[in-house]
Amino acid sequence: MASPEMNIPKQGRLAIYDAPNAPFRLEPYALAAPAAGEVLVKIRMSTICRSDIHSYQGHRPNPCPGVLGHEIIGDIVALGKGVTQDMRGDALAPGDRVTWSEYFIPGSNYYTEVLDLPQKSRGVDKYGHMAVTTAPHHHGGFGEYCYILPHSWILRLPDVLTDEEATPINCGVATMIAVTEAANLRIGQTVVVQGLGLLGLYGAAIAKARGARVVIGLDTVAARRELAYKFGVDLALDPTMDRAALLHEVRALCRPEGPDAVIEVCGAPEVIPLGIEMLRTGGTYVLGGVVNPQAMVTLDANLLLKKLLTLRGVHNYHPRNLIEALDFVVANRMRFPFHDLVDGKYSLDNVGTAMADAAARRVLRAAITP
Ligand SMILES: [Zn+2]
């Protein structure tokens, strides 16, 4: 049997940016056999998430020179000592196609053991959020290889999924599994989704899969409202329409008083008061999009009190949500056209173009295929 080192190339290229909005440059970095607890993966596809764009444009702090990309899938090149199976217990071997959590943690700690919030562990770090100078350098999606680092959660991908269906699972889909879980959706309930970007479309589809009777989507972009009907949205409205007319239309479908849950995934804090206003008594409002600091908002707190509302925030997802995300996409891939959401493909040399197209929303999800 060949020694594992024989299969490992000497180096792999990474698309690096030196400062916000600076052009990307391709640079080779050395590769070595994965250390204990690590897995070396040859990247198949990396999709550009809205948070990659925020980082690249400098809206949130990200160390430079950096390598972005955290929605990644790849084929296992080599397994480090101690890694034999995925988080579900399935055996892992070189050649397996895998996804993994967008974050990794320092190990067992107060947040894992006491709070059951491993995703918020002190020292949690994310793929595509570290300086490229930090070893082992290959820890972002915009490159040829990536090391899955210790205390990540890995899942082997079933053959039935296309790369396009599989790549957004570890961020977009898993996040919306967590958001809809926080909304506590039950069979027959009604939901309003504020924002019909990728998160909103997955959110609508997941809400339907969780048994929602009615899903209403709000977005200012007509093309997105049109697309939303393919992802479980029953009625898509422009939130800039007359406020009274909007509330009337929402309540007509969410009788008698309003939706059971409202989900914010548009990243604009100014939409929050409208969502709070339309909720039924005892309803739940979930924040999933306002990830940038200083998302200031003024709202009538008396409404929260008088209507007995629940307000929830979701940032990162629990590892169990990654399994649920995969199972959701596998089970619903014939019902919703997830494959079509990845509508732009770019080589590693064209990361700059991909980023510009994604930022300008010329594509819904841009994919880098090294
Ligand atoms: Zn993301």
The residues, any chain, with a CB within 8 Å of residue 252's CB and separated by 6 or more, are: none
3.90.180.10, 3.40.50.300, 3.30.420.40, 3.40.640.10: CATH of 4-170+337-368: 3.90.180.10
Please report, in angstroms and rounded to a whole number, the separation of the first and last CA atoms in the chain.
Answer: 29
Peptide bond before 256: cis, by omega within 30 degrees of 0?
Answer: yes
Q: Rounded to the nearest whole angstrom, what is the distance from the C-alpha of residue 267 to the centroid of ligand 1?
A: 13
Between the CA of 1 and the centroid of ligand 1 the distance, in Å, is 39
Q: How far apart are the CA of 282 and the centre of ligand 1, in A?
A: 31
Q: What is the Å distance from ligand 1's center to 301 Cα?
A: 31
Q: What is the pLDDT of residue 3?
A: 47
* Ligand 1 geometric centre to CA of 174 (Å): 10
- Domain spans of the chain? 4-170+337-368, 173-313
Sequential pLDDT tens for the chain (370 residues): 344 455 899 999 999 999 999 999 999 999 999 999 999 999 999 999 999 999 999 988 889 999 999 999 999 999 999 999 999 999 999 999 999 999 999 999 999 999 999 999 999 999 999 999 999 999 999 999 999 999 999 999 999 999 999 999 999 999 999 999 999 999 999 999 999 999 999 999 999 999 999 999 999 999 999 999 999 999 999 999 999 999 999 999 999 999 999 999 999 999 999 999 999 999 999 999 998 889 999 999 999 999 999 999 999 999 999 999 999 999 999 999 999 999 999 999 999 999 999 999 999 999 999 9
Q: How many angstroms separate the alpha carbon of residue 70 from the centre of ligand 1?
A: 6
Question: What pLDDT does 285 receive?
Answer: 98
173-313: in CATH 3.40.50.720: yes
Task: Please count the other Cβ atoms lying within 10 Å of the Cβ belonging to residue 49.
Answer: 26
Nearest C-alpha neighbor of 198 from the set 336, 57, 24: 336
**pLDDT given at position 59:** 87
269 CA from centroid of ligand 1 (Å): 19
pLDDT of residue 6: 57
Q: Which residues pair with 98 in a beta bridge?
A: 74, 156
In the prediction, which pLDDT does 367 show?
98
Tell me the CA–centroid distance for residue 20 and ligand 1, in Å.
18
**Ligand 1 mean position to 241 CA, how many Å?**
30
316 C-alpha vs ligand 1 centroid, how far in Å?
A: 9
Is 4-170+337-368's fold the same as 173-313's?
Answer: no
Distance 108 CA to ligand 1 centre (A): 24
Model pLDDT, residue 324: 98
CA 169 to ligand 1 centroid distance, Å: 10
pLDDT for position 60:
82
